[in-house]
């Protein structure tokens, strides 16, 4: 009986992503609602210290058979989560669906994060994925206006962008989303507490002076942008602020070559700012496939972004007219209205009381966890960016989901980090899954590389210099597709389906057996017949060494 009840809501709980987009709100499902009522008849009057008897019994039974053999103690909650971002909300909600009594605390809402501000929804919803993507949509139109000219559309007056309309509409959407997330928690029967959570002992959290006890504590406080200390760094803005500027930056410097830097470069460029990107390396996007790095840099330059390579920032000076100049190891560029640093993010682990309870952090401040997301203190767990594993929303969701199963469904579950796809919403965007060519050579030795670099149908009409680059990396021994990379329109959408195939360990033969969808860009991934190069480590294999070039067949 109990187990039936426990599994039912899993099926009826819509995903977070769905809810983000599901407008108007379509939750809760009746099953979920009746389930939470069943376990907690007094949901509306629910207080953390009145744990319903049924639920507590349920859990004491479970935990005895679980791996903690600790004596039964009376806790306010089965789970107390600090931080209601992607990972925290997912873990809390799922834990509640599995029958746990759950509370989550989160800082008050603000578009700019700090030691005292945050908001339900977290980075993804308020200061990351969502507002960023909305800005990308807005900025992409200027490219579309150009494209549309080639298709016969004409503008009597040049389209002008009104910054304040965008920011107002974007912020209204964020307010709506934070409300949706609160509803999600509420509907799942999770108690939401506004305030700053601090761990007092392995089973106690202090939120602004009030103490709460919990069988398990989850830290999911995320990360924040980090700006290195250089003279004048107080004039720089980070990505939080860049998403919430009140006026259009006329001329902006972006320091950094990672995905955040590139995404903002595209946004500001599309919204008609003059954009300069300063990177320490020779190329953007360290860690990505080398060919993708070259390709995206070229395409972004063609759209008007100026890259300053191998330049490290040394100082920012504010001049009398209010404009900023950026000095690097190579010289000084003047006249910036804004200087944005996209120089990395740091885990929010300060002032959480971690040292006092003995939760270990690494040198970057990230919480050390085992494969089940357990910290060095057995009752304390951590998921998401605060653990600095792979800092992506869907990964935090996976970690949160796995943790809820581990703790409250008697099903120890490790997050699976293999073949996690990801996207960069630069313009053009990048999608990728699996290994880069460089990683593949290191791990597998002999590989075949298939590439396509073509002008998409749309560009032949628009006359713009847009191109698409695609790449498949195949293990020469097993024929498995090890990596798949793309830069060009719709990359992020295209790669998702292929990620299922790569994750499932499918081979190049499987790709070839799939019929194309014509005319699309994506069909190119199933029509790559001739390897661009075969890389062989051992002279014995095929009797030749190094790279064998080959013209790709049309």
Partner 1 sequence: MARKMLVDEGMSQTNQEEAHYDFDLFVIGAGSGGVRAARFSANFGAKVGICELPFHPISSEVIGGVGGTCVIRGCVPKKILVYGAAFGGELEDARNYGWELNEKLNFNWKKLLHKKTDEIIRLNGIYKRLLSNAGVKLFEGEGKIVGPNEVEVTQLDGTKLSYSAKHILIATGSRAHRPPIPGQELGITSDEALSLEDLPKRAVIFGGGYIAVEFASIWRGLGADVDLFFRRELPLRGFDDEMRAVVARNLEARGINLHAQTNLTELIKTDNGIKVITDHGVELEADVVLFATGRLPNSKRLNLEAVGVELDNTGAVKVDEYSRTNISSIWAVGDVTNRMNLTPVALMEGTCFAKTAFGGESSKPDYSSIPCAVFSIPPLSVVGLSEEQAIEKANSDVLVFTSTFNPMKNTISGRQEKTVMKLVVDSETDKVLGASMCGPDAPEIMQGIAVALKCGATKAQFDSTVGIHPSAAEEFVTMRSVSRRITVRGKPKTNL
The residue from 150, 202, 353, 445 that contacts partner 1 (CB under 8 A) is: 150
Residue 162 interacts with partner 1 (CB under 8 A): yes or no: yes
Residue 483 interacts with partner 1 (CB under 8 A): yes or no: no
CB 466 within 8 A of CB 428: yes
Site size toward partner 1, by CB under 8 A: 92
Residue 126 interacts with partner 1 (CB under 8 A): yes or no: no
The helix/strand/coil state of 81 is strand
Residue 250 interacts with partner 1 (CB under 8 A): yes or no: no
Min dist. Cβ of residue 158 to partner 1 (A): 10
| Range in contact with partner 1 (rule: CB under 8 A) among 162-170, 229-237, 286-294, 336-344 | 162-170
CB 105 within 8 A of CB 115: no
The residues in 375-394 that bind partner 1, with binding defined as CB under 8 A, are: 392-394
Burial of residue 23 (number of CB atoms within 10 Å: 0-12, 13-18, 19+): exposed
Min dist. Cβ of residue 471 to partner 1 (A): 14
The residues in 171-200 that bind partner 1, with binding defined as CB under 8 A, are: 173, 176
CB 507 within 8 A of CB 481: yes
Residue 467 interacts with partner 1 (CB under 8 A): yes or no: no
| DSSP-derived secondary structure letter, 524 | G
Comparing CB distances to partner 1, the nearer of 108 and 465 is 465
**Residue in the structure block whose two tokens are 């339900």:** 120
Q: Is 518 one of the annotated active-site residues of the chain?
A: yes
Min dist. Cβ of residue 404 to partner 1 (A): 13
Burial of residue 44 (number of CB atoms within 10 Å: 0-12, 13-18, 19+): exposed
Comparing CB distances to partner 1, the nearer of 311 and 524 is 524
Residue 446 interacts with partner 1 (CB under 8 A): yes or no: no
CB 62 within 8 A of CB 47: no
As a whole number of angstroms, the distance between CA 431 and CA 45 comes to 47
Residue 363 interacts with partner 1 (CB under 8 A): yes or no: no
- The set of residues, in sequence order, having a beta carbon less than 8 Å from that of 268 and lying 6+ positions away, is 139, 249, 252, 254, 275
The residue from 515, 538, 540, 543 that contacts partner 1 (CB under 8 A) is: 515
Residue 550: strand pairing partners:
none
As a whole number of angstroms, the distance between CA 386 and CA 371 comes to 15
What tokens appear for 189 in the block? 């029967």
The residue from 95, 105, 138, 243 that contacts partner 1 (CB under 8 A) is: 138
| Range in contact with partner 1 (rule: CB under 8 A) among 135-143, 252-260, 285-293, 358-366 | 135-143
As a whole number of angstroms, the distance between CA 41 and CA 45 comes to 9
Residue 458 interacts with partner 1 (CB under 8 A): yes or no: yes
Min dist. Cβ of residue 372 to partner 1 (A): 17
What tokens appear for 264 in the block? 């903002």
Residue 461 interacts with partner 1 (CB under 8 A): yes or no: yes
| Range in contact with partner 1 (rule: CB under 8 A) among 190-198, 209-217, 342-350, 497-505 | 497-505
Residue 159 interacts with partner 1 (CB under 8 A): yes or no: yes
In this structure, how many other beta carbons lie within 10 angstroms of the beta carbon of residue 202?
Answer: 16
Residue 227 interacts with partner 1 (CB under 8 A): yes or no: no
As a whole number of angstroms, the distance between CA 119 and CA 130 comes to 14
Q: What residues are annotated to the active site?
A: 518
């Amino acid at each position: 009986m109990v187990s039936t009840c426990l599994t039912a809501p899993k099926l009826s709980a819509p995903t977070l992503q769905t809810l983000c987009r599901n407008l108007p709100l379509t939750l809760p499902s009746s099953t979920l609602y009746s389930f939470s009522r069943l376990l907690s008849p007094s949901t509306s009057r629910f207080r953390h210290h009145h744990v319903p008897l049924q639920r507590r019994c349920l859990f004491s039974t479970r935990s005895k058979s679980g791996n903690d053999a600790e004596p039964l103690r009376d806790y306010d909650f089965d789970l107390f989560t600090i931080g209601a971002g992607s990972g925290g909300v997912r873990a809390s909600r799922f834990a509640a669906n599995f029958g746990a009594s759950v509370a989550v605390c989160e800082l008050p809402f603000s578009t700019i994060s700090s030691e005292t501000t945050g908001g339900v929804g977290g980075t993804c919803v308020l200061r990351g994925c969502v507002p960023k993507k909305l800005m990308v949509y807005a900025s992409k139109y200027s490219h579309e206006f150009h494209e549309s000219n080639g298709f016969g559309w004409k503008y009597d007056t040049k389209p002008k962008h009104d910054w304040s309309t965008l920011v107002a509409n974007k912020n209204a959407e964020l307010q709506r989303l934070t409300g949706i997330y609160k509803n999600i928690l509420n509907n799942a029967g999770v108690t939401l507490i506004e305030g700053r959570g601090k761990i007092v002992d392995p089973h106690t959290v202090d939120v602004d002076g009030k103490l709460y006890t919990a069988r398990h504590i989850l830290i999911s406080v995320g990360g924040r942008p980090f700006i290195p200390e250089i003279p004048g760094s107080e004039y720089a803005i980070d990505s939080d602020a860049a998403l919430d500027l009140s006026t259009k930056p006329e001329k902006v410097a972006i320091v950094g070559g990672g995905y955040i830097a590139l995404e903002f470069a595209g946004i500001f460029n599309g919204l008609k700012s003059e954009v300069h990107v300063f990177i320490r390396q020779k190329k953007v996007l360290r860690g990505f496939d080398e060919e993708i790095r070259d390709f995206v840099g070229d395409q972004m330059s063609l759209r008007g972004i100026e890259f300053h390579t191998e330049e490290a920032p040394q100082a920012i000076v504010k001049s009398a007219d209010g404009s900023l100049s950026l000095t690097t190891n190579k010289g000084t560029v003047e006249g910036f209205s804004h200087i944005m640093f996209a120089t990395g993010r740091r885990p929010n682990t300060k002032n959480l009381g971690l040292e006092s309870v003995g939760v270990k952090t690494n040198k970057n401040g990230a919480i050390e966890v085992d494969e089940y997301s357990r910290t060095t203190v057995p009752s304390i767990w951590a998921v998401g960016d605060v653990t600095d594993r792979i800092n992506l929303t869907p990964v935090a969701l996976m970690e949160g989901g796995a943790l809820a199963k581990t703790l409250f469904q008697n099903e120890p579950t490790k997050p699976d980090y293999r073949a996690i796809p990801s996207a960069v919403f630069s313009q053009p965007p990048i999608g990728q899954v699996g290994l880069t060519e460089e990683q593949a050579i290191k791990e597998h030795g002999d590989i075949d590389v298939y590439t396509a670099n073509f002008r998409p149908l749309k560009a032949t009409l628009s006359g713009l210099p847009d191109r698409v680059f695609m790449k498949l990396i195949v293990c020469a021994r097993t024929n498995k597709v090890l990596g798949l990379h793309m830069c060009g329109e719709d990359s992020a959408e295209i790669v998702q389906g292929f990620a299922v195939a790569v994750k499932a360990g499918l081979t190049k033969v499987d790709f070839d057996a799939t019929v194309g969808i014509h005319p699309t860009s994506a069909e190119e991934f199933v029509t790559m017949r001739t390897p661009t190069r075969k890389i062989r480590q051992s002279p014995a294999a095929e009797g030749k060494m190094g790279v064998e070039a080959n013209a790709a067949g049309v």
